[in-house]
Amino acid sequence: MNILTTLSRYDPHVAGTPPLGLDVPTSDIDILCHALDLDRFTTHVWNAFNSSADFRIWQWSGGDKPVIAAFKAEGWQFEIFGQARPVEQQRGWRHFLVEQRLIRLGGKDFVEAVMAFRRSGMKTEPAFAAALDMEGDPYELLFDIASLDEDALVGFLHKAGYI
């Protein structure tokens, strides 16, 4: 099964902790999709993946009501996220990109700190916020700093003692 090929009409982008090198045994691979017609997306995902192990699909009731499907395949847990906005504008993608940048800028010590929080049971965004000594909603914090330039991100890393 080639998941990305199956989802190709929805501009799939792979995100999550495995591509960042921050996976723990409970990690999943996120695939973010641009789905203008959520009913059609739901039907497509159902038809393609409903025979996969542990398949489930649901729709959030808030925001722009994204559709999420989860299942096991190819030795991994997958979570497909379909939203009626381009992937580049989705919060999950913006989180992923800023996390990539922070890893590149922060180096080994920063990655080790994030991984220590991950291994203690924290989700990815809370682990990044904790490693940066940031207080508040970690999802909002990472979304807010996603648009900052590299100098500003280096400032956060320096303040937290990594640079």
Q: Return the domain boundaries, the chain.
A: 3-85, 92-159
The pLDDT value given to residue 62: 79
Residue 90 and residue 16: Cα distance in Å, rounded? Answer: 13
pLDDT, average across residues 84-97: 96
% of the chain residues with pLDDT over 70: 99
Confidence tier at 1 by pLDDT (50, 70, 90)? low
Host H or E run for residue 142:
helix 138-145
The pLDDT value given to residue 55: 98
Q: Has residue 94 got a pLDDT over 80? A: yes
Q: Which CATH number fits domain 3-85: 1.10.3720.10, 3.30.460.10, 3.40.50.10490, 2.30.110.10?
A: 3.30.460.10
Residue 149 and residue 11: Cα distance in Å, rounded? Answer: 26
Confidence tier at 104 by pLDDT (50, 70, 90)? very high
What ranges make up the beta strands (E) of 28-66?
28-34, 53-59
The pLDDT value given to residue 63: 77
- Furthest-apart CA atoms within the chain: distance in Å: 49
Angle of CA points 86, 90, 92, to nearest 5°: 140
Q: State the chain's mean pLDDT as an integer.
A: 95
The pLDDT value given to residue 136: 95
Residue 20 and residue 111: Cα distance in Å, rounded? Answer: 10
